Amino acid sequence: MTFKVINLPGEGLRKSIARHDEAFDETLTLIVVVGPITLAAWLATIQQIDWGSVRLGLGEVVIVVGLAIFLGITSARLFRHAAARRRYKEGLAAELAVAQALMPLMADGLSVFHDFPAEGFNIDHVVIGRSAVFSVETKARKKPPERGSAAARVRYDGRRLEFPSHSETRPLEQALAQARWLEKFLSSGVGEPVRVIPVLALPGWYVEQTVPRPEIVVNNCHNPRLMASRNFGDELSESKRKRIAHVLVERYPNVVAED
């Protein structure tokens, strides 16, 4: 017996966090264990210790240098996994916030899919709206320490995101590329054109849009009602929406369950 496993929000990030947790624990164990073992092995070679006459020979120097190199490499690895784990946790919190904001859409009859498996990447959220499909890419960005509305504002001119301390274009490019892939995938699977709107979600930020109707929708997803609107073309028929949902579900992996 086989069935489809529809991913929960942030499923891929959870797996990444688990991998880094495991690697962090393994590295920390190495650091804690190897030092005492090396010292014990050295002391075991000495029958009687006269600490006043102890001198470091070539062998001891090699051991000390090797241990220092080992500790340096493993410490760097430890910090790398800790930093990656922190980034993934921030991303997971952002994805969960957007998923929660999208939940009311299901009460209006819209279909919402999370962590959709594509080709070498996952799309954070896919929403089958009234007149189009929406491909939602979520980004977590820390706010500056300053307080006030200006500190939480990002300007969007259709080509660039202007944060208080820096500007970015990569998230927009990523959202657009994912939407184009999904549009091609769905159109092929359904057998007729399916319009996909790219959405970049920035939870916790106020987006100031300076151009009308940009190609990529950027918002904080606190009010996702635009996905339920009919402002993106002709309304999708119920039959077409079901076919789109079927194509999406079939992309998720199969799990074999024992009877």
Q: What pLDDT, in 10s, does the model give residues 18-65?
A: 887 788 787 777 777 766 666 666 555 555 555 555 555 565 566 667
Give the orientation angle of helix 11-44 with respect to helix 58-107, to 10 degrees.
160
Whether the per-residue pLDDT at 208 is higher than 60: the answer is yes
What's the Rg (C-alpha) of the chain?
A: 26
pLDDT at 183 over 90: yes
Percent of the chain with pLDDT over 90: 46
What's the average model confidence in pLDDT over 168-180?
A: 96
pLDDT band at 178 (very low <50, low <70, confident <90, very high): very high
Q: What is the pLDDT of residue 253?
A: 81
Burial 224-235 (b: 16+ CB within 10 A, else e): beebeeeebeee
For position 145, what pLDDT does the model report?
73
The rounded distance, in Å, linking the Cα atoms of 71 and 10 is 34
What's the pLDDT score for residue 17? 82
Selection from 37, 89, 82 nearest residue 63 by Cα: 37
| Average pLDDT over the chain, rounded to an integer | 84
Does the domain at 106-256 match CATH 3.40.1350? Answer given as: yes
Q: Which amino acid appears at position 7 of this protein?
A: N
CA–CA separation, 114 and 125 (whole Å): 4
Give the residue-averaged pLDDT of 232-243.
Answer: 92
Count Cβ atoms below 10 Å from residue 107 Cβ, excluding itself: 7
* d(C-alpha 95, C-alpha 87), whole Å: 12
Structure tokens at 233: 């073309």
Among 9-23, 131-145, 238-252, which stretch is predicted with the lowest mean pLDDT? 9-23
Residue 148's pLDDT is 66
